Amino acid sequence: MQESRRRIPSDGFACGETVEKEDAIPVVVFHCNLPGQRPLLKFNCREPSCGALEGGEDAAKLSDEDYTVDPNFFDDGYSLAGSTGFKVWTGSRLLIEALAWPQSDDCERLKSIQSRICNGARLIELGAGVGVVGTYLGAMGAQVLLTDLPTLVENSIDCNLLRNKTTTISSSDAVGVCPPWLAPDGIRIGSGWANSTPLDWTHALDEQLTEDQRSPIDFIVASDVVFLASMLSSLLNTVNSLFKASSHNNPSFILSFQRRDAEDGEESVAFTTVKGVVAAVKGRGWFIDCLSWRPVTVRKEKKGTVYKEESEVFVFEIKPGNSISDG
């Protein structure tokens, strides 16, 4: 890890949670602010976030009685991995800050990415979960296609996009018109646009996305999506397909990843490790660079005992071939 890439929390960026009732069922509402004290973005979740809040920020608390049987348990293609998408995880916060809250010490490559995102870059988010990252980047000015398993799209992403829909129009007439690749159902979010579609990494990309959806991509983004080692290969296969489909744009993959030390550490077979991510990327002949990282303290529970664990979260940029970092 390069100490120069260590990122302090962004001054002015704040998150929090509340608990609301919908049809007598408790719902966790995660919220975060945009730069310039614009209105909060809000996202319905099924559980409190994990590692996404800093000390002093309001955290939601649910009692044992508040947790209900997963209503989507028997949905086609749904899994344990899919069920984790209904909450906000550690990597989402650093990814948002790194891409949307510039700091003077950011490397030149990160500054370039930040500028492009605020000026209409076309993004596809993989494993979007409740939609925090993609919606936020859309509000900052990007054009974003949020994807996840059908259950997440239908029961989380679509609802949260509509919750954050805005009719505010930029002074630019062009920005006020939905980009063709997100039409006809693109939603205006802040200064940009967003839409959603189901995407299963275990199925062929061209069977799920139209050519218009898979070919104009500038950046692929994902946050905390491969905690299980079995998911990594499918994720990278999907990324590879997107690299090829949008090769004329020279897209890159921006991945946030929290170190999760299993009992067998970096040699874990079941859980994805930092070493495993780097090895899998380099094994494909791709380039990987750490754009930003931060130490985090995560609340954990084991055998009824609650404790805190120190870890790190990273933002990697991954590119095909022998690409060279700008710094």
For residue 169, name the pLDDT band (cuts at 50, 70, 90): very low
- pLDDT at site 324: 39
Q: Is 250 helix (H, G, I), strand (E, B) or coil?
A: coil
- pLDDT at site 79: 65
For the chain, the first-to-last Cα distance in angstroms comes to 14
- pLDDT at site 221: 98
Give residue-wise pLDDT tens across range 97-131.
999 999 999 999 999 999 999 999 999 999 999 99
- pLDDT at site 150: 93
Q: What is the mean pLDDT of residues 225-241?
A: 92
Decide if pLDDT at 168 tops 60. Answer: no
Backbone torsions φ then ψ of 307, nearest 5 degrees? -145, 170
Pairing state between β 219-223 and 122-126: parallel
Task: Provide CB contacts within 8 A for 43, sequence distance 6+.
Answer: 29, 30, 31, 88, 130, 131, 132, 135, 160, 163, 164
Q: Which of 137, 136, 129 is CA-nearest to residue 156?
A: 129
* C-alpha dist (Å) from residue 72 to 69, 75, 80, 140, 190: 9, 5, 11, 32, 31
Q: What is the mean pLDDT of residues 174-189?
A: 88
- pLDDT at site 264: 55
